[in-house]
Amino acid sequence: MTFYADADADGYGTTSSQCLCEAEGTYTASNNDDCNDANKTANPAGVEVRDTVDNNCDDYCDEGLLSYGDLVITEIMQDPKTLRTARPSGLSCTTRAAPTFRCAGLVILRWGSDNHNVSGEVFIAAGEHALFLRDDDTGKNGGLTGGYSYGSDVTLDNYDDDLYIEFDGVIIDEMAYDYSREDWSAAMARASRCSSTPTSTAPLTTTTR
């Protein structure tokens, strides 16, 4: 009979198996359905809770438990004239309350067109920020080091656009901007030319929601 390794003894095994006459050692499970054999509460019969863990083995974390405002878009560089890119170069997000926000599974959306599914393991603790960049090449983005790069999947417009963050079909936050805003990047370029001291790269500009 085939038995599967079940190190956390939750009745669900991994793909590691042995052909045995009876259960032996950690090889006690009759199935290989476990997604996390180091966590007894994470298995196909588990109940999802807000803890950044896939508790029910459906490849999602915290689904059905997130709502609008749990993650907030705080900053964006709209028209980076001083950088070698013709598009907005990134955005910053923060979570304001515990527990930690796990970003895998988020969808970054340009309304009605582009979207990107966040696949990397990006965690944002309460009160902390994560920087999402279009290009993680520091030679092109002004020397910024971000937590994640969404690449060319989402191509925002320099003049006006709408940006959304979605999880499990729920809009978590949204932001709209237009060219009536102060031209921050051009002002920075002027300040740099007028100063004898090189101007350091400033953080992304704060956006009013």
Among 148, 122, 118, which residue's Cα sits nearest to residue 133?
148
Q: How confident is the model at residue 206 (pLDDT cuts 50, 70, 90)?
A: very low
Judging by beta carbons within 10 Å of its beta carbon (0-12, 13-18, 19+), is residue 133 exposed, middle or buried? buried
Eight-class DSSP state of 203: P
Q: How far apart are the first and last CA of the chain?
A: 61
**Domains in the chain: boundaries:** 72-193
User: If you average pLDDT over residues 32-43, what whole number do you get?
Assistant: 96
pLDDT score for 93: 83
* b/e sequence 56-78, b meaning 16+ C-beta within 10 Å: bbeebbbbeebeeebbbbbbbbb
Hey, what CATH topology would domain 72-193 get? Immunoglobulin-like (2.60.40)
pLDDT score for 159: 77
d(CA 132, CA 160) in angstroms, rounded, equals 19
pLDDT score for 86: 53
Cis peptide preceding 203, ω within 30 of 0: no
pLDDT score for 145: 80
pLDDT digits (tens, 9 = 90+) for 121-141: 888 888 888 888 888 877 777
What token pair was written down for 176?
Answer: 């709209």
User: If you average pLDDT over residues 141-164, what whole number do you get?
Assistant: 82
pLDDT score for 18: 95
